[in-house]
Amino acid sequence: MTMKPAHSQSSRIWTERLRDGLVVQVRPLLPQDCNRERAFLAHLPEENLAQRFVGLVKPIDEAVVRDLTCPAPECEATIGAFVPVKGGEIEVGVAAYVTRPDGVHCDCTVTVDPDWQKLGVGRVLMKHLIEIAREHGIRRMYAMTECHTGAHALGEYLGFHSRPDPEDPHVTTFELVLH
């Protein structure tokens, strides 16, 4: 029996230069990132939490930190963008997907620290998340968020099709077909 490769592989690290010249490292979140993830989530304003978790409807608590830093290898991928600071690194963005039971569709989220938005962090995170999804045979990615310009601009850049949620006009559903 062949083992399926894990969606989050700790050995992968990408170095990316942002629009302002700063360098970020993009890599899978690991259990040892839980303090960085907690600090990242604590720094997000409530509106960003609502936008991020609209599809998941979860309050931010230790279970969320654990889910993001210990993704289920057979169906989840979680990557973060990290910036070196004196004595370590800080997390400035996170992107994740969870596959649906059919294994070829997934639901994704991406959130960037407001102090780091509009610099290209969302783009680099989603670029690598999409790459991982492709490698694992995922054919469609979905995201749901409250309507706002940042999500629309990023979704459009990445090639997602957007449509208003039929049940809630304040929510937009995004869909990307992977070839």
Ligand X SMILES: CC(C)(COP(=O)(O)OP(=O)(O)OC[C@H]1O[C@@H](n2cnc3c(N)ncnc32)[C@H](O)[C@@H]1OP(=O)(O)O)[C@@H](O)C(=O)NCCC(=O)NCCS
Piece in contact with ligand X (CB under 6 A), picked from 3-11, 24-32, 47-55, 130-138: 47-55
Residue 80 is a binding residue for ligand X (CB under 6 A)? no
Interface residue with ligand X among 25, 117, 162, 173 (CB under 6 A) is: 117
**Residue whose C-alpha is closest to residue 18's, from 153, 160, 124:** 124
Piece in contact with ligand X (CB under 6 A), picked from 5-13, 28-36, 48-56, 160-168: 48-56
Distance between start and end Cα atoms, the chain: 27
Interface residue with ligand X among 23, 63, 72, 153 (CB under 6 A) is: 153
**Residue whose C-alpha is closest to residue 72's, from 42, 29, 32:** 29
Instruction: Tell me the number of residues near ligand X by CB under 6 A.
Output: 22
**Residue whose C-alpha is closest to residue 94's, from 73, 72, 116:** 116
**Residue whose C-alpha is closest to residue 144's, from 110, 174, 176:** 174
List interacting residues with ligand X (CB under 6 A): 48, 51-52, 109-112, 117-123, 143, 145, 149-151, 153-154, 157
